[in-house]
A and B are shown apart, each in its own frame.
Chain A
Amino acid sequence: DAGITQSPRHKVTETGTPVTLRCHQTENHRYMYWYRQDPGHGLRLIHYSYGVKDTDKGEVSDGYSVSRSKTEDFLLTLESATSSQTSVYFCAISDSLSKTHNEQFFGPGTRLTVL
């Protein structure tokens, strides 16, 4: 299995509270992604990174920010959590297209509940 960990694995927070989720990889892969998974919606891309300090928005980026100061860590921040951000969050990584054809490896997920 790819070396991807997510922390915390479960979190319950209150509306308006800031929340940071961490994704850590030991594969030295260039690309990292944050997805959210909701029933009936599959996985939707929030933000992604194509290198240290290089990030861009995905399909559902409103209300989220990210940072990547080291190759191995990709942080997802909810500046002021809302109930609509209750979801399961997955981190994924991939190497260059020439090596893996964009095969992505997924972490175990973080279940976030916003009350």
Chain B
Amino acid sequence: AQSVTQPDIHITVSEGASLELRCNYSYGATPYLFWYVQSPGQGLQLLLKYFSGDTLVQGIKGFEAEFKRSQSSFNLRKPSVHWSDAAEYFCAVGPSGAGSYQLTFGKGTKLSVIP
């Protein structure tokens, strides 16, 4: 069965500092990987996704993530955090086989930004 682990429940960074949110997944084949962001009281918005090719993927709002197959990781990064990045971030894994369409989500990492 597929699973996702986000080891950090809550992270606090200063505005302008760099950010890395960790995500480890368990899946038997090549997965589809996603990062979503949820602002308070809102739904989830897709930041970026990986399905094949270049292992460094760029997303919206200046975020990027790197797929490392050997480490079963898909960590999210941003070089300089803005106060508006304060939100909860979810990593998700989905199967890539035909007829499969379920995503499994991690429990989320809440990001707080100190002005």
Contacts from A to B (Cβ < 8 Å): 31, 33, 40-45, 48, 50, 58, 90, 92, 94, 97, 101-109
- The answer, yes or no, to whether B105 is at the interface (CB within 8 Å) is yes
Q: A42-B105, A42-B108 are in contact. Are A101 and B43 (CB under 8 A)?
A: no
Interface of chain A, main secondary structure: strand
Q: A90-B43, A106-B44 are in contact. Are A101 and B107 (CB under 8 A)?
A: no
Contacts from B to A (Cβ < 8 Å): 32, 34, 36, 42-46, 49, 51, 90, 94-96, 98, 100-108
- Expressed in whole angstroms, the Cα–Cα distance for A90 and B45 within the complex equals 12
* Residue of B42, B51, B100, B105 with most partner-chain A CB within 10 A: B105
Closest to B103 in A: A104
A–B complex contacts, Cβ < 8 Å, 25 sampled: A31-B101, A41-B107, A42-B90, A42-B105, A42-B106, A43-B44, A43-B90, A45-B104, A58-B102, A92-B44, A94-B101, A97-B96, A97-B98, A97-B100, A101-B49, A101-B94, A102-B94, A102-B95, A102-B100, A102-B103, A103-B34, A106-B36, A106-B44, A108-B42, A108-B43
CB contacts (< 8 Å) of A105 on chain B: these are 46
CB contacts (< 8 Å) of B101 on chain A: these are 31, 48, 50, 94, 97, 102
Closest to B46 in A: A103
